[in-house]
Amino acid sequence: MSDADEGNPRVREYMTHNVATVSPDDTVGSVAERIDESEEHNGFPVTDRRRVEGFISARDLLLADDDEPIFKVMTNDLIVAHPEMKVTDAARVILRSGIQKLPVVDDAGNLVGIISNADVIRSQIERATPEKVGKLRRTLESIHDIDLREERREVELDDLTPTQGRVYADELEGRRYELERGLAEPLVVIDSERSASNDDGSAEKKLLLADGHHRVLAADSLEIDEMDAYVIVVDEDVELGMERTADEEGLEHLEDVEVVDYARHPLVETTERLQ
pLDDT (tens place) for every residue of the chain, 275 residues total: 444 355 578 899 888 888 999 999 999 999 999 999 987 788 899 999 889 999 999 989 998 999 999 999 999 888 899 999 999 899 888 888 878 889 999 998 899 999 988 788 767 665 667 778 888 899 988 888 889 999 999 999 999 999 988 888 877 887 887 788 777 788 999 998 764 455 555 556 689 999 889 999 999 999 999 999 999 999 888 888 888 888 888 999 999 999 887 544 455 444 444 44
Phi, psi (deg, nearest 5) at residue 194: -110, 115
- DSSP letter for 83, please: T
Fold for the domain defined by 3-123: CBS-domain (3.10.580)
- Do 226 and 157 contact (CB within 8 A), yes or no? yes
Break the chain into its structural domains and give their ranges.
Answer: 3-123, 127-274
Local structure of 266: helix, strand or coil = helix
Q: Helix 87-97 vs helix 117-125: angle between axes, to the nearest 10 degrees?
A: 140
CA distance linking residue 6 with residue 130, whole number of Å: 9
The yes-or-no answer to whether 3-123 and 127-274 have a common fold is no
Fold for the domain defined by 127-274: 3.90.1530
3-state helix, strand, coil in the chain (%, to 5): 35, 25, 35
CA distance linking residue 121 with residue 25, whole number of Å: 34
CA distance linking residue 231 with residue 187, whole number of Å: 8
Task: Tell me the per-residue pLDDT of 49-101, one tens digit each, with 9 for 90 and over.
Answer: 889 999 999 989 998 999 999 999 999 888 899 999 999 899 888 888 878 88
Rg (CA), the chain: 23
Q: Which residues of 104-119 are buried (b: 16+ CB within 10 A; e: fewer)?
A: bbeeeeebbbbbbeeb
